[in-house]
Chain A
Amino acid sequence: AQSVTQLDSHVSVSEGTPVLLRCNYSSSYSPSLFWYVQHPNKGLQLLLKYTSAATLVKGINGFEAEFKKSETSFHLTKPSAHMSDAAEYFCVVSEEGGGNKLTFGTGTQLKVEL
């Protein structure tokens, strides 16, 4: 069984300050982990993915995430927030032995203020 927990439903940062969106997972198999972003009235867009290669994963738009097996975490970070980063972010887990099904976190709404 797999699950994912996004610890914050809302995060608010000032433009130019760092972003941290937290995600913890549980998985019976070696997981693949993803972060997706959804802007209002838009489809999902993949930010980055971890698939058992390098534990520090760099994605688009300056985002990165680090896979920490000991902490079962996959937190998303960005050094400097931009207004255009305001959106809903989903942490997602998939198990190879789980039929490729995705399990989504409940989402984190990121607000960026001037």
Chain B
Amino acid sequence: GAVVSQHPSRVICKSGTSVKIECRSLDFQATTMFWYRQFPKKSLMLMATSNEGSKATYEQGVEKDKFLINHASLTLSTLTVTSAHPEDSSFYICSAPKEGRSYYGYTFGSGTRLTVV
């Protein structure tokens, strides 16, 4: 149980275009979704926290207009990388607390490898 489905797993896009990444909770309601980015050979860095029905909270240094997050329903959160550039190439992963509390652990999407050419 508590599965998060993330799509696409890999995407290659041209510089200047936008890419949307979806994370969908399949068997539970994800009122909160965390979006992470992993740079090569680095740890995961929290980008933003999305809450259903409200604006996302972005971490310091993350551009809100570049990384648009929408959490319109209890089962779907999306991250859109707008006007992508090669430096946006990275591994993006979403995560949601099971049952809404960290006590029960977290479930992660399988990640999206974005390559901007």
A, B co-complexed? yes
The tally of CB-CB contacts under 8 A between chains A and B is 54
Q: Number of A residues whose C-beta is below 8 Å from B?
A: 23
The verdict on A100 contacting chain B, using a C-beta distance below 8 Å, is yes
Give the interface of B toward A (CB within 8 A).
Answer: 6, 32, 34, 36, 42-46, 49, 93, 95, 97, 101-103, 105-106, 108-111, 113
Give the interface of A toward B (CB within 8 A).
Answer: 32, 34, 36, 41-44, 46, 49, 51, 90, 94-96, 99-107
**A43–B105 contact, CB under 8 A?**
no
Chain A residue at minimum C-beta to C-beta distance from B4: A43
**B103–A34 contact, CB under 8 A?**
no
**B105–A100 contact, CB under 8 A?**
no
CA distance A103 to B45 in the complex (A): 8
**A102–B103 contact, CB under 8 A?**
no
**A32–B43 contact, CB under 8 A?**
no
Chain B residue at minimum C-beta to C-beta distance from A52: B103
**B49–A102 contact, CB under 8 A?**
no
Pick the residue among A96, A101, A106 that contacts B46 (CB under 8 A): A101
CA distance A104 to B95 in the complex (A): 13
Chain A residue at minimum C-beta to C-beta distance from B108: A44
**B49–A43 contact, CB under 8 A?**
no
**B106–A104 contact, CB under 8 A?**
no
The residue in B36, B93, B102 that gathers the most chain A C-beta atoms within 10 A of its C-beta is B102
